[in-house]
A and B are shown apart, each in its own frame.
Chain A
Amino acid sequence: MMPHELLKVVALVSVGAHPVTGRPRRAEQDARAVELGLCLAGKHLHLLHAGDAESEALRGYLGMGLAEMTVLQQPLHADILPALGSYLGATDAQLVLTGSQAEIGEGSGMLPYLLAEQLDWPLVVGLAEVESVKGGVAQVLQALPRGQRRRLQVRLPFVASVDSAAPKARQSAFGPAQRGQLQSQKVAVVEDMLLSEASMQTARPRPKRLKVIKAKTGAERMRAATAKASAGGKVLTDITPEQGAEAIFALLKEEKVLR
């Protein structure tokens, strides 16, 4: 789609961390959100960050060809949601783009949901492409697993999160990154209640179910490797809630989740 100058697009960006070295950088998914935003609104894309305007890593987004970014000044452990919500609510933003999950901090992936809830806007998860915007309604493609796409019609304004199905971010150039302005704004700070009492713990990789392949021939192994990982299970229809609960209970037992 051609840059749509009248569409007011905001991209929420965060400071990321390189997976190997942990060095601060532009976050991969947020950069994709910016890329999508640049394709939609060109130079009119509005960059928004809640955090520290001194973070040099933010310049990585400016290097994609944007002159400035608004930074809502927030300390490290603040709950940034109210600040973002009230800022966005007061603007005429029509589309708010964000990554699915932050690379540092809590990284819960909840921000798009909570933000949409607070603004009372619809949320599109896994936005891959905006095909058109007509009469206050956007036609978009939502990414589903295994390369599938679902076409949706969403009324403006809405929040959309992007993941790695969105187009890859363009290179960040040093010159514009240095020249770009980080416009810091003082806003109210709300303490994050959860963070103030909970403690952080390094994440462990989730356990994965081992796939036992009993294939004897190469062809069978090939089939097993390329087969669509079937979700299995069955669809229960027209049953009472009690029957449903029984079925779930039985399954959990069978899977040894409950003993």
Chain B
Amino acid sequence: MLDTLLPILIFCALAVMVLGAWRRLSLWRQGRPSPVPLIRGLAAMPRRYLVDLHHVVERDRYMSKTHVATAGGFVLAALLMIIVHGFGLHNRILGFALLGATVLMFVGALFVAKRRRNPPARLSTGAWNRLPKSLLMFSASFFVVTLPVAGVIPADMGGWVVALILLIGVAWGVSEMFLGMTWGGPMKHAFAGALHLAWHRRAERFGGGRSTGLKALDLDQPNAVMGVEKPTDFTWNQLLGFDACVQCGKCEAVCPAFAAGQPLNPKKLIQDMVIGLAGGDDASFAGSPYPGVPLGEHGGGPHQPIVSQEGKGLVGADTLWSCTTCRACVEECPMMIEHVDAIVDMRRHLTLEQGSTPNKGADVLDNLIATDNPGGFDPGGRLNWAADLNLPLMSEKKQADVLFWVGDGAFDMRNQRTLRAFVSVLKAAGVDFAVLGLEERDSGDVARRLGDEATFQGLAKRNIASLSKYHFNTIVTCDPHSLHVLKNEYGELGGNYDVRHHSTYLGELIANQRLNLGQHKGGSVTYHDPCYLGRYNGEYDAPRNVLKAIGIEVKEMERSGFRSRCCGGGGGAPITDIPGKQRIPDMRMDDIKETGAELVAVGCPQCTAMFEGVVEPRPYVKDIAELVADVLIEAPVPQRSATRSDAMEVH
């Protein structure tokens, strides 16, 4: 009997699965167009899965091994099962191979089940708790029905009752594994995940690359709605990406806004987008909700606004404005989902179409438009901090080796100390540098992250025009946000530069022995990786090398390097200021205190401001430039006197 029923069951399931796949594809295709190479993407997919995705999953050894066994066993078992039971090719060798595959899968599934016994809070329950049982059911029942094929037991053993039980087991397993794959069960991640890898919107991320710059919005089509209002305003491959989420909650576990009790949970956000894609509400979401926002009140559909001005909508605006764009979620996501892109896309709509940037947002944007800096200061005062420093100006020199990008920290008294320290180091090393002075404007970082793409592009274009007037080899800046924007986001608008963070440049000066440095004498030091330097630009070593060169042994925090926790200052979060239970900088300061360090070295004006805003007593906050300037020995470096004498001869 099984010989007749099994093929029917298998092929029916496959047919329904294909139908589901078609439906899912048409759901994704509701999104906006996005040009990705379809065939080449598919061809690259296995490598992306086996190498790039595995590289992320590998951070959790237990899960990576479990997944290899379960998924590998399943793929093998499914293929063999179709041949053996579907087409009835009862070959002994194939039978044994199928047995092996099901055993492998069974063992993997046991580990899945073990992880699910006391799941950490970040994992979703619900259907995801059913999955290990289904995996076990699938592998076990196919193991038993394959035994006769392998000749281990006679074909007619057991009789009707056993056959019926087996059939139920097979049906359960097959429906979870095949139907669930395309009709929206937990196994959907395999189908959507594979295609998501193939058609990812940031293909540069694969093969060890980095792609962190936001993508430009076309502002010349005023009749198109700007940003994302409804789920279908995402590009189709973004929608596909949301569908790939496995609800592992790795993003939730690292999200600073979630930890601070602000109404954001990146995992829930991605699931909400899936709800929007297919239509429905969030009542059956089986993970942690947005802090302070009960489940079951929000819902939506593909053509309904995500953030509703009147009713509840799919997501509250506060959720979107809580994000610091720290990218910790993207870094951790095993499915390589792009949360930050999605959040900024939705913010663009709120700012550009609704004009509803919260709190100080509108004022800051108005200031940027009217004065080219977020504080609304007179742009004529941009160089006041250096009134006594006699800084070389690009407008006078026309060319220099290094263009020192000062950033808006020029208006902030605390940051001016950092800037002055860095200038003293540049001078001591005899670097040929110059500043743009009054021709410099805000880089546009904050405007862009607040969703104001128009103001960003306006600032960027004017900055690019200023920069194009002069010749220089490198741009050096003390501000990782400027670094990121100049390096990764101006390119799309026509400005391509070699940009370095001051720590990178200091490292080079030290390596080339152009600085005469003493040793740090203060107490112990820890280092905080700024998100926009680390995760956005991959610079983890240079700051540490510089600190090492001045005799500092960094007392590392538990969350450092690519796992560094945000200071709370990015993405315009201090401007939109969404309330939570605690403040992000306070949490990070606790991380810092845990190391017992007396001083925290930073490399970003935002981090400095956020940490110095934490009430004392707390460790001192000093920029790397200040630490280096403190131990600078102002002795003439040979090279410097050489350039001096050259200059003398001209006179």
- Out of A21, A63, A175, name the residue touching B370 (CB < 8 Å): A21
Q: Contact between B355 and A65 (Cβ–Cβ < 8 Å)?
A: yes
Q: Contact between B362 and A171 (Cβ–Cβ < 8 Å)?
A: yes
B573 in the interface (beta carbon within 8 A): no
- Cβ of A202 to closest chain B Cβ, rounded Å: 17
- Out of A23, A170, A174, A179, name the residue touching B454 (CB < 8 Å): A174
A18 in the interface (beta carbon within 8 A): yes
B-side contacts of A175, CB under 8 Å:
222, 225-226, 352-353
Interface positions, chain A 6-58, Cβ under 8 Å from B, are 18, 20-21, 23, 25
B214-233 CB mask vs A (1 if < 8 Å, else 0) is: 00000100110110000000
- Cβ of A3 to closest chain B Cβ, rounded Å: 14
Q: Contact between A25 and B370 (Cβ–Cβ < 8 Å)?
A: yes
A178 in the interface (beta carbon within 8 A): yes
Q: Contact between A174 and B371 (Cβ–Cβ < 8 Å)?
A: no
B496 in the interface (beta carbon within 8 A): no
Q: Tally of A-B residue pairs with Cβ under 8 A?
A: 54
A173 in the interface (beta carbon within 8 A): yes
B356 in the interface (beta carbon within 8 A): yes
A174–B352 Cα distance when bound, in Å, is: 5
Q: Contact between A18 and B222 (Cβ–Cβ < 8 Å)?
A: no
Complex: chain B residue closest to A26, CB-CB: B366
Interface positions, chain A 55-89, Cβ under 8 Å from B, are 63-65
- Out of A20, A170, A176, name the residue touching B353 (CB < 8 Å): A176
Q: With A171-B362, A175-B222, A178-B222 given, is the CB distance from A18 to B355 under 8 Å?
A: no
A157-187 CB mask vs B (1 if < 8 Å, else 0) is: 0000000000000111111101100000000
- Cβ of A180 to closest chain B Cβ, rounded Å: 9
Q: Contact between A173 and B370 (Cβ–Cβ < 8 Å)?
A: no
A173–B356 Cα distance when bound, in Å, is: 8
B-side contacts of A18, CB under 8 Å:
370-371
Q: Contact between B222 and A173 (Cβ–Cβ < 8 Å)?
A: no
A-side contacts of B361, CB under 8 Å:
171
A-side contacts of B455, CB under 8 Å:
174
A9–B152 Cα distance when bound, in Å, is: 90
- Out of A20, A65, A173, name the residue touching B351 (CB < 8 Å): A173
B513 in the interface (beta carbon within 8 A): no
With a 10 A CB-CB cut-off, give which of A21, A65, A174 has the most chain B CB atoms: A174
A36–B141 Cα distance when bound, in Å, is: 71
A64–B362 Cα distance when bound, in Å, is: 12
A-side contacts of B498, CB under 8 Å:
none
A174–B366 Cα distance when bound, in Å, is: 12
B322 in the interface (beta carbon within 8 A): no
A150–B378 Cα distance when bound, in Å, is: 38
- Cβ of A76 to closest chain B Cβ, rounded Å: 22
Q: Contact between A20 and B371 (Cβ–Cβ < 8 Å)?
A: yes
A65–B353 Cα distance when bound, in Å, is: 9
A23–B378 Cα distance when bound, in Å, is: 12
Complex: chain B residue closest to A63, CB-CB: B355
B360-389 CB mask vs A (1 if < 8 Å, else 0) is: 011001100111000011110000000000
- Out of B226, B351, B355, name the residue touching A64 (CB < 8 Å): B355
- Cβ of A32 to closest chain B Cβ, rounded Å: 14
B582 in the interface (beta carbon within 8 A): no
Please give the number of chain A residues whose Cβ is less than 8 angstroms from any Cβ of chain B in the complex: 17
Q: Contact between A173 and B352 (Cβ–Cβ < 8 Å)?
A: yes
B452 in the interface (beta carbon within 8 A): yes
A63–B452 Cα distance when bound, in Å, is: 13
A181–B309 Cα distance when bound, in Å, is: 24
A178–B378 Cα distance when bound, in Å, is: 28
Q: With A21-B378, A21-B379 given, is the CB distance from A173 to B371 under 8 Å?
A: no
B-side contacts of A171, CB under 8 Å:
351, 355-357, 361-362, 365
Q: Contact between B378 and A173 (Cβ–Cβ < 8 Å)?
A: no
A176–B354 Cα distance when bound, in Å, is: 9
Q: Contact between A20 and B370 (Cβ–Cβ < 8 Å)?
A: yes
A21–B354 Cα distance when bound, in Å, is: 27
Q: Contact between A20 and B356 (Cβ–Cβ < 8 Å)?
A: no
Complex: chain A residue closest to B370, CB-CB: A18
- Cβ of B291 to closest chain A Cβ, rounded Å: 27
B377-406 CB mask vs A (1 if < 8 Å, else 0) is: 111000000000000000000000000000
B-side contacts of A172, CB under 8 Å:
355
Interface positions, chain B 315-361, Cβ under 8 Å from A, are 351-357, 361
With a 10 A CB-CB cut-off, give which of B222, B355, B369, B453 has the most chain A CB atoms: B355
With a 10 A CB-CB cut-off, give which of A20, A63, A65, A172 has the most chain B CB atoms: A20
Q: Contact between A174 and B370 (Cβ–Cβ < 8 Å)?
A: no
Q: Contact between B452 and A174 (Cβ–Cβ < 8 Å)?
A: yes
A-side contacts of B354, CB under 8 Å:
173
A23–B370 Cα distance when bound, in Å, is: 6
A-side contacts of B371, CB under 8 Å:
18, 20-21
A96-140 CB mask vs B (1 if < 8 Å, else 0) is: 000000000000000000000000000000000000000000000
B-side contacts of A23, CB under 8 Å:
369-370
- Cβ of A57 to closest chain B Cβ, rounded Å: 10
Q: Contact between A179 and B222 (Cβ–Cβ < 8 Å)?
A: yes
B-side contacts of A25, CB under 8 Å:
366, 369-370
Interface positions, chain B 446-490, Cβ under 8 Å from A, are 452-455
Q: Contact between B379 and A173 (Cβ–Cβ < 8 Å)?
A: no
With a 10 A CB-CB cut-off, give which of A23, A63, A178 has the most chain B CB atoms: A178
- Cβ of A20 to closest chain B Cβ, rounded Å: 5
- Cβ of A61 to closest chain B Cβ, rounded Å: 12
Closest 4 CB pairs of A and B: A173-B355, A171-B355, A171-B362, A18-B370
**Interface residues of A, Cβ cutoff 8 Å to B:** 18, 20-21, 23, 25, 63-65, 170-176, 178-179
Can you list 14 residue pairs at the A/B interface with Cβ under 8 Å?
Answer: A20-B370, A20-B376, A20-B378, A21-B370, A21-B379, A25-B370, A64-B355, A170-B355, A171-B365, A173-B351, A174-B219, A174-B454, A175-B226, A178-B219
Known contacts A64-B355, A171-B351, A171-B356; 18 additional CB pairs below 8 A are: A18-B371, A20-B370, A21-B371, A21-B378, A23-B370, A170-B355, A170-B362, A171-B355, A171-B357, A171-B362, A172-B355, A173-B351, A173-B352, A174-B351, A174-B454, A175-B225, A176-B353, A178-B222
